[in-house]
Amino acid sequence: MSRRFQKLNFRSKFEKDVSQHLHGFLYEPFTVPYTIHRNYKPDFVHEATGTLVECKGFFRDGDTKKYKSVRDSLPENQRLVFVLMHPNKKIRKGATMTMAQWCDKEEIMWYTIDTLQELISDVSNNG
């Protein structure tokens, strides 16, 4: 195996083969961030503050990524919060992290049906 292949750690043999013909080209010199434009419809929105409330029993594949994107796309004066049916449920099969732990890690406030009064107070007082 050539030193160049070992040094560059190509992702495939095909990339290695192509590199043999592309003199003067750099291999993966930087990353390019990109956005996939999608639409999100929140379950509830507090009229006065615009706080988005999402009710979740479980996360489907891709949900954690989606909700991080939604959170990151909101203006500073708006926020996303969750009402979790089962806060101690794992975020996916085989995972060690629970839905509540994921929310805590991502700094997304979460509540349960038993703590809805806290949600109402938090939203009314803090926006």
pLDDT given at position 124? 85
CA 11 from chain centre, in angstroms, equals: 25
Chain-wide mean pLDDT for the chain? 89
Whether 64 and 92 have beta carbons less than 8 Å apart is answered as no
CB neighbourhood size of 121 (10 A): 11
Q: Return the beta strands (E) in 6-79 as ranges.
A: 44-45, 52-56
**φ/ψ of residue 16, rounded to 5:** -60, -45
- Summarize pLDDT for 58-73 with one digit per residue, the tens: 999 999 999 999 999 9
Domains of the chain: 1-34 (no CATH), 44-126 (3.40.91.30)
Going by pLDDT thresholds of 50, 70 and 90, the confidence category of residue 8 is low
Q: What is the pTM of this model?
A: 0.73
Q: How confident is the model at residue 127 (pLDDT cuts 50, 70, 90)?
A: low
pLDDT of 7 reads: 60
Q: Does 5 score more than 90 pLDDT? A: no
CB-CB neighbours of 84 under 10 Å: 22
pLDDT band at 35 (very low <50, low <70, confident <90, very high): confident
Residue of 34 and 106 predicted with greater confidence: 106
Return the beta strands (E) in 49-107 as ranges: 52-56, 80-84
Q: Is pLDDT of 51 > 90? A: yes
Residue 12 and residue 22: Cα distance in Å, rounded? 16
Predicted confidence band of residue 74 (pLDDT cuts 50, 70, 90): very high
pLDDT at 37 over 80: yes
